[in-house]
Amino acid sequence: MIEVKNLHKAFGSVVAVEDVSFTAANGAITGLLGPNGAGKTTTLRMLYTLLQPDRGSAVVDGYDTASAQLEVQRRVGALPDARGLYPRLTARENIRYYGRLHGLKGRELEDNISRLINWLDLVEVADRRTEGFSTGERLKVAIARALVHGPQNVLFDEPTSGLDVMSTRAMRDFIRRLREEGKCVLFSSHIMQEVAALCDQIVIIHRGRVVADGSPEALRQRTGLDSLEEAFVKVIGSEEGLER
């Protein structure tokens, strides 16, 4: 479970996140929706401890991201926007490195790796060097290494960007599967359809602020509009988030 309260972050005079609060529950998919530059990536970076908030707090399973970084890192599996692999290592070695950094070893580690490789349909390429992998294969390896330690909280930054239709569908199935396992899944996207298709809860961010927060149903009711797309346009006051 992730609780975010009044997060604020500025780089020099540029305010990236003005005031963001929301709660992402276990066993649910929460979508951070907003146009490019809305502050989604900065918010996620504060959640997975790489940035310190100037004000406010983010708490993961009871641990503050600013003061208990290692505890938070153990409970989080994150797929950042940067998802480079080591091209001279095989897919399995890439995943194993992260597992070992989490202190896993031996049978338990190898079992976790094999399970993720099966899940993500990586069996055929698992023992090849990742040099020359397709975008989809790279993404799968990046997800596998992020989840190798079996974290309760899963943070994905734009997980379907650059994927073809089939891979996008597989990715959505995978995210639903994580929900069925009772994980707290939080992902960011600038694509309305994606969020509408997956999320139990939608947090719309615009210019560093939360402008709407609730289930897709609640959002439609609040705006009095039938389509989520129109609801989205209404809450952020423009059509800039509708590219796909």
Partner 1 sequence: MNTTAWERVGVVFAKEATDNLRDRRSLGSAVLGALLGPVLILILLLVLGKALFNQGEKPLELPVQGAENAPNLIHFLEQNNVHIRPAPADPQAAVRNGDVEAVLIIPADYGDAFTSGRPAMVQALYDSSRTSAQPTYSRLSSLLEAYSRQVGALRLQARGISPAVTVGLAVVKVDVATPQSQVLIFLNMLPYLLMFTIFSGGAGVIIDATAGERERNSLEPLLINPVARREFVAGKLLASLPFAFAAVLLSLSAFGIIFNAIPMEEIIGFQMSIDVRGLGVIFLICLPMVLLASAIQMIIATFARSFKEAQTYVGFLPLVPALPGIGLAFLPVKPALWTMLIPTFGQQILINQVMRGEMVSALNVGVSVAVTLVLAVVLTGVAVRLYEREQILFGRA
Residues of this chain that bind partner 1 (CB under 8 A)? 45, 48-52, 69-70, 73-74, 76, 78-89, 93, 97-98, 100-104, 142, 145-146, 149
CA pair distance 142, 80, nearest whole angstrom? 9
CA pair distance 115, 229, nearest whole angstrom? 37
Closest residue by Cα to residue 53 from 16, 105, 2, 92: 16
Our CA dihedral for 201, 15, 162, 75, rounded to 10 degrees, sits at -60
Closest separation in Å from C-beta 142 to partner 1:
7
Closest separation in Å from C-beta 33 to partner 1:
22
Query: Residue 233 is encoded by which pair of tokens?
Result: 């346009």
Quick one: 29 or 142, whose CB is closer to partner 1? 142
Closest separation in Å from C-beta 93 to partner 1:
8
Strands 55-60 and 2-11: antiparallel
Closest separation in Å from C-beta 215 to partner 1:
29
DSSP symbol at 125: G
Quick one: 109 or 191, whose CB is closer to partner 1? 109
Closest residue by Cα to residue 173 from 201, 140, 125, 142: 140
Quick one: 141 or 192, whose CB is closer to partner 1? 141
Closest separation in Å from C-beta 103 to partner 1:
4
Closest residue by Cα to residue 99 from 88, 112, 84, 83: 112
Quick one: 100 or 176, whose CB is closer to partner 1? 100
CA pair distance 94, 189, nearest whole angstrom? 26
Quick one: 85 or 198, whose CB is closer to partner 1? 85
Quick one: 80 or 214, whose CB is closer to partner 1? 80
Closest separation in Å from C-beta 37 to partner 1:
16
Contacts of 18 (CB under 8 A, 6+ apart): 8, 39, 207, 208, 209
